[in-house]
Amino acid sequence: MNFKQPIDRFSQCQAIVCDLDGTLYLDQTPVDGASLFLSRILESRRKLFYFSNNTSKSRRTYLTKLEKMGFPVDDEYLITSADCAENYLKSRNLYPRIYLVGNNDLVADFAKRGFTCLGDEEALKAPLPAAVVLGFDTELTYQKIETCYHLILADVPYIATHGDVLCPVNKHQFKPDVGSFISLFETATGGGQPRIVGKPYKAAVEAICSRAGLPPDKIAFVGDRLYTDMRMAKQNNMAGVLVLSGETTLAMARESPDAPPIIVNSVTDLIEHL
């Protein structure tokens, strides 16, 4: 496969959306040059956004982590798949009573946006919640699994914040993510499938374009994962930039239909093109 580098497509974008883990940092360590890359985006008068599918942490936790790494921080810069879920639910009037499978931090973030997150007992009484939302719950209990299962069977609209099967712990280690939970509920309910709203799905593109105030072709997405970051860029006419600082190797990219035309070792290689 011939990987020519049409880097002008990246340079011409007015907003740059960056994935976090594997792209700007690896676990607790910033990628070399990431801080300079991010400052240059702002100095060049482009818009900067951070995007994460991970819904196990609160917005505040992310912003604090980014700030500690010396990255530019503003609440407006951060988009998570929880934001995509909130946009989706409100725009379809699946609001405000929901059953949320999520950590206490995520429940608190939804409550701040006006949602009422029902407890297990209340969720199964009439009137049933407007939606059941599956997030990355690292405090998952059997009780929550059982409540979620009953609500899916009762045909309550079923939303998942993202579909990643695994979440990176560091470059070589992973832990089960929401995609694995989805498989559990699919098996238990005999085929129940959620509407997924994070990367690479349409609701994520809607959330990004709405926050940026730009159409997808004026936006670049920089990320390290082929089946989320790069698939979303490719299917929605964003300028996808694959960085090899995370989970993807050049050999994996060469095998993948999701690989974009622009592939760089890390975000440092993009600085001169801003």
The residues of the shown chain that bind Mg ion, judged by CB under 5 A, are 19, 21-22, 224-225
Residue 91 vs 170, nearer CB to Mg ion: 170
d(CA 96, CA 58): 20
Q: Are 200 and 208 in contact (CB under 8 A)?
A: no
Nearest distance, CB of residue 228 and Mg ion, angstroms: 8
Nearest distance, CB of residue 229 and Mg ion, angstroms: 7
d(CA 140, CA 46): 39
Nearest distance, CB of residue 54 and Mg ion, angstroms: 9
Residue 86 vs 224, nearer CB to Mg ion: 224
Residue 110 vs 164, nearer CB to Mg ion: 164
Count CB neighbours of 155 within 10 A.
9
d(CA 105, CA 56): 8
Element (H, E) at 45: none
- CB-nearest residue to Mg ion: 22
Nearest distance, CB of residue 115 and Mg ion, angstroms: 27
Structure tokens at 178: 């929401």
Q: Who's near 217: CB < 8 A, 6+ residues apart?
A: 237, 238, 239
d(CA 180, CA 176): 6
- What is the per-residue DSSP string for 143-188? HHHHHHHHHHHTT--EEES---SEEEEETTEEEE-HHHHHHHHHHH
Structure tokens at 63: 């912003």
Q: Are 199 and 170 in contact (CB under 8 A)?
A: no
Nearest distance, CB of residue 223 and Mg ion, angstroms: 6
Nearest distance, CB of residue 209 and Mg ion, angstroms: 21
Nearest distance, CB of residue 27 and Mg ion, angstroms: 11
Residue 21 gets which letter from DSSP? B
Residue 47 vs 225, nearer CB to Mg ion: 225
Burial 254-263 (b: 16+ CB within 10 A, else e): eebebbbbbb
Residue 21 vs 269, nearer CB to Mg ion: 21
Q: Are 49 and 83 in contact (CB under 8 A)?
A: no
Residue 53 vs 103, nearer CB to Mg ion: 53
Residue 228 gets which letter from DSSP? I
Residue 57 vs 144, nearer CB to Mg ion: 57
